[in-house]
Every structure is written in C-alpha cells, then in structure tokens.
Amino acid sequence: MFGILLSALNVLLGFVLRSVIVKFVMFFALFFVTSGFISYLSSSGILPSADVIGSSLGSVPSAVWYFLDLFAFSAGLPLILSAMLTRFIIRRIPLIG
C-alpha cells in the first residue's frame, strides 16, 4: 500500500516538475525578453509615442471624426495596433514564431 502511494507521489511530482515549473520558467523568460524588447524599441524612438499619435489624429476634420465615432475608432485603433505589435513580436521569438 505504501509503495502505491509513493509511486503516485512520484508521478505527481514528475508532472509538476516537467510541465508546470518548466512552462512557468519558459513563459516568464519570454515575457521578460518581450517586455525588455518593447521598452528598448520605445526608448530608441522606433515605436511612436502617444503624443505623436495624438497630434497626427488632431488634424483630422470634424466631418471625418463623425464617421470615426460611429465606428468606435477611438476604442478599436488601440486594440488593432496592440494586436499587430504583439503579432510582430511573437513572430520574432525563435521558440514560438
């Protein structure tokens, strides 16, 4: 009876070490690299800042803003830009992309 419990504990411990902890370390490393990459790109000036985007959208005429508001452009543009940036970064990671 004790051997069965020891065997079950060994299987459970092997599962936790192989799947849970290793995946946690890998995803944490990927997150760390990705967040560092984004902060480097934003500090080097490659990615546009919010001020630049705001000033470029400030020159849009009011007639165009009417239709942009109908299509919820102010909510959709940040979602689309962040999804495209995330897709770009994920494709550049060697293990995933």
pLDDT digits (tens, 9 = 90+) for 54-81: 787 788 888 888 998 899 888 888 888 8
Instruction: With cut-offs at 50, 70 and 90, classify the pLDDT of residue 97.
Output: low
Specify the pTM.
Answer: 0.46
Name 49's Cβ contacts closer than 8 Å, sequence gap at least 6: 42
Residue entry with tokens 């051997």 = 3
Question: What angle do the packed helices 62-70 and 73-92 form, to 10 degrees?
Answer: 70
| Tally of CB atoms within 10 A around 73 | 16
Residue 5, classed as helix, strand or coil, is helix
CA angle 66/67/71 to nearest 5° reads: 120
